[in-house]
Amino acid sequence: MKKAMTVPGILLGVICGLASAQTPVAPAFASANLSPAGIRSMAANCAACHGTNGVSVGGAIAGLAGMNKEYLVNQMKLFKEGRREATVMQQLAKGYSDVEINALAEYFSVQKK
Ligand code: HEC
């Protein structure tokens, strides 16, 4: 199985992080791994809370499977910008670039509930 983050990718992230440490700009992201395996492993980061492939078990936290793509993108952006109240998602959403959010939204929108 391919790893989502390659060592060069992590190093790039660290270097970009250091480079931007002095100037308060938006965080730089390592280039996204948008291969099918890359997207799957990104989506796996959501599984602990939203269920495997976004199929929620128990219903305490919303399932993401089959959710409208635009809705998903918009909610992630609202969380990221701190415009939607949340317990954990504001912080989590900050870890994803717009390109990654788009890929995640596409992925979950086509999963079967
Ligand atoms: C630690 C648990 C946790 C993880 C991991 C997690 N979420 Fe969430 N998610 C929540 C909770 C809890 C909420 C409800 C809002 C809140 O309180 O943060 C939520 C809400 C959401 C919503 C809004 C759902 C709706 O019905 O409006 C979306 C979209 C979402 N999460 C996407 C994701 C994606 C994509 C990932 C993976 C990148 C992810 N979440 C990872 C816990 C989690």
- Reading the chain (113 residues) residue by residue, the pLDDT tens digits are 555 556 655 555 555 455 555 666 766 788 899 999 999 999 999 999 999 999 999 889 999 999 999 999 999 999 999 999 999 999 999 999 999 999 999 999 999 98
| Cα dihedral: 45, 46, 51, 52 (round 10) | -40
Q: How far is CA 100 from CA 16, 26, 40, 77, 84, in A?
A: 18, 16, 11, 11, 19
pLDDT at 16: 47
Q: Which residue has the tokens 């918009």?
A: 74
How far away, in angstroms, is 38 Cα from ligand 1 center?
19
pTM to 2 decimals? 0.82
Does domain 33-109 correspond to CATH entry 2.60.40.1930? no
> What's 62's DSSP letter?
-
CA separation, residue 44 to residues 14, 27, 28 (Å): 23, 22, 22
Please report the atom of ligand 1 found closest to the CA of residue 79. 18
Tell the residue nearest (CA) to atom 29 of ligand 1.
72
Q: Give 14-20 contacts, CB < 8 A, sequence gap 24+.
A: none
Neighbours of 25 (CB within 10 A): 8
| Atom 25 of ligand 1, nearest CA residue | 62
- pLDDT, residue 31, reads 87
From the CA of 22, how far away is ligand 1's center (Å)?
31
CA of 95, closest atom in ligand 1: 38
Using CB distances shorter than 6 Å, the residues near ligand 1 are 45-46, 48-50, 61-62, 64, 72, 75-76, 86-89, 92, 104
